[in-house]
Structure 1
Amino acid sequence: MTATILVAGGTGDLGGRIVRELLLHDTQVRILSRPGSTTARTGAHDERVEIVEAAYSDPAALAAAAAGAETVVSALSGVRPVIVDAQRALLAAAVAAGVPRFIPSDYSSDYRRIAIGSNRNFELRREFAADVDAADIRATSVLGGAFTDMLTGQAPMIAFGGKRVLYWSSPDQILDFTTKDDVAWTTAHVALDVNAPRVVEIAGDRVTARDLARMMSRLTGTPFRLQWAGTTGSLSVMSGAMRRFSKDSDETFPAWQGMQYFVSMFSGQGRLLHVRNDRYGDREWTTVEDVLAAHLASR
């Protein structure tokens, strides 16, 4: 039986990957688009993809868009107006339409255990999770640690030119990484799994800063050294100071937010403790070394 899945944020980077994975199954995919947007229409090339328009300020239109769907998948990205406000509207619409299941836009480390004030983006997800838990709908969050893809530049942990791998507090802290493609694959399976639990944790790879230094040395044939960049406590203080004086508080990933992600990772607070990579069968997960090797080969 063909399943109908509504994807909010389906034209974004991760959302597009989720749509692609869903189309490998017996599905009909609806991409939720804001009225007047041309992005969704230019990205829909499969006859099983339907574009539905609705403003997040229009409960009736959102509920109509969700009607008949088995699962509503959120792949929205942003800060409070999106992660809390828009997702609350999407969640309410899913409940009003009688949709059985909902997947919030988490796709992160375990935000449930982080210290208050240590990571804005994670705290927004934790705030919205309270709404999800109170709603009359079955929900599943997909947690995969940091996106492995970010190690090639967006997350400045590896100094490619300086032959260094930065770390905070301990070079032996285990870090969880999963590629966007592997997260999308898992999310598609969760969307079709009527028995999915409240949280599904995956980790495409688990490495330390020391592992990364060894890995880069092996891949490049040049020694990469570990570089202590301070403690997670000092990094937290620095990010807080930058946040107070920054003019980019409305951005999703300002520099100080990147620091907060490293605090969550190197403190161990965001580490995934219940990883189940085998839940949806055998898969050849993309490792950190796979991603770094591909990046080095393309330079």
Structure 2
Amino acid sequence: MPTVLVAGGTGDLGRRVVRELLARGADVRVLTRPASSAADRLFGGTEGVVVTRASSGDPAALRDAVRGVDVVVSTVSGVRDVIVDAQTALLQAAVAEGVPRFVPSDYSADYRYLPPRSNRNLEFRREFAGVLDASPIRATSVLNGAFADMLTGQAPIVLADRKLVLFWSDADQVLDFTSKDDTAAVTAAVALDPTAPRYVEVAGDRVTARELARTMSSLTGEPFRVQWAGTTGLLSAMSKGMRRFSRETDEAFPAWQGMQYLVSMYSGDGQLRRVDNDRWGEGRTWTSTRDVLAAHVASPPQSG
């Protein structure tokens, strides 16, 4: 089996990718920062996992880390200094050591068709894609829409306490959702398949706001309705205004960035166009938005 280096393997998605690679019999190297102890705590003594350390500012250490691996899988998270700068340093090390393949940290909507400057975080991914495509390494990006897990908290779409599902512009716009576990499974499959194309598009579920409202009505026995929250153009203008008057921050998901993601989804600009679940699902039963919402509805409320 191939040896796979996972950058960002101690993160939420990264841990899931490591788990899926191990389940498929791969040898895994987890790349972590020199001062971090999280990898030792999570993977110390785990058969098939080797922890290696290097910073993005140490080219020699990065080359040592990637030497002899068959594919680099990046699951790092952050803004430009991570998505562009740190991944470029890792890419350069991989190229220098003759690593055949590289999977960048995309895991997102399809950024290729977004209007320029409409989504900061996805713009960073598009910028790094240009760097990656100019290199001699074979690359595969995983595009999965939004994480379905976000429907129960981070994404202000389903407002359970108000029995509303919000939408912008069009309640029948198709939205792509994939759970983190499904995304991790696809990423592992991609990492171990040298024939994977440049872009792999999957969606655990494709639903509209109207369908989400029907799902919540069915799960709770109470009527949920869709609520128009404005146009995507208005939401985009609001995000620009909020960003203009916000202090600069290294935070990956300030409120205005969340607005940009909603614009990318409800405008249809980031919608996946070539979903291929059959090839990359490996007979998997995909997690639906109903599954995610049902688990949330059934979970007891947190006290305190």
TM-score (norm 2): 0.97
Q: Which runs of 5+ in 2 are unaligned?
A: none
2:180 aligns to what?
180
Alignment of 1:19-30 (within 5 A): 19-30=18-29
CA contact (8 A) 1:248 1:254 kept: no
1:64-114 residue CA offsets vs partner (Å, 9 max, x unmatched): 100110100000000011001000001111111111000000000000100
2:35 is equivalent to residue 36 of structure 1 = yes
1:143-189 residue CA offsets vs partner (Å, 9 max, x unmatched): 00000000001111111100000000000000000000000000000
Quote the offset at 1:282 in angstroms. Answer: 1.4
* Mapped partners of 1:220, 1:26: distance in 2: 41
Runs of 4+ in 1 over 3 A off after TM superposition: none
Alignment of 1:255-294 (within 5 A): 255-280=255-280, 281-294=282-295
RMSD of aligned residue pairs (Cα, Å): 0.8
2:191 is equivalent to residue 191 of structure 1 = yes
1:196-244 residue CA offsets vs partner (Å, 9 max, x unmatched): 0000000000000000011100100000111100000000000000011
1:231 aligns to what?
231
* Mapped partners of 2:223, 2:97: distance in 1: 58
* Mapped partners of 2:246, 2:273: distance in 1: 34
* Mapped partners of 1:250, 1:38: distance in 2: 23
* Mapped partners of 2:48, 2:201: distance in 1: 29
2:7 aligns to what?
8
Give SS of 1:293's match.
helix
The amino acid across from 1:284 in the alignment is T
Equivalent pairs: percent with the same residue? 64
* Mapped partners of 2:64, 2:99: distance in 1: 11
How many aligned residue pairs are there?
298
* Mapped partners of 2:247, 2:75: distance in 1: 26
Quote the offset at 1:47 in angstroms. Answer: 2.0
2:93 is equivalent to residue 85 of structure 1 = no
Alignment of 1:1-299 (within 5 A): 2-44=1-43, 45-247=45-247, 249-280=249-280, 281-299=282-300
* Mapped partners of 1:33, 1:206: distance in 2: 35
Give SS of 2:190's match.
helix
Q: Which runs of 5+ in 1 are unaligned?
A: none
Quote the offset at 1:249 in angstroms. Answer: 3.0
Quote the offset at 1:248 in angstroms. Answer: 5.1
* Mapped partners of 1:164, 1:272: distance in 2: 26
Give SS of 2:237's match.
helix
The amino acid across from 2:16 in the alignment is R
* Mapped partners of 2:207, 2:24: distance in 1: 32
* Mapped partners of 1:248, 1:39: distance in 2: 28
The amino acid across from 2:36 in the alignment is S
Give SS of 2:23's match.
coil
Give SS of 1:279's match.
helix
The amino acid across from 1:11 in the alignment is T
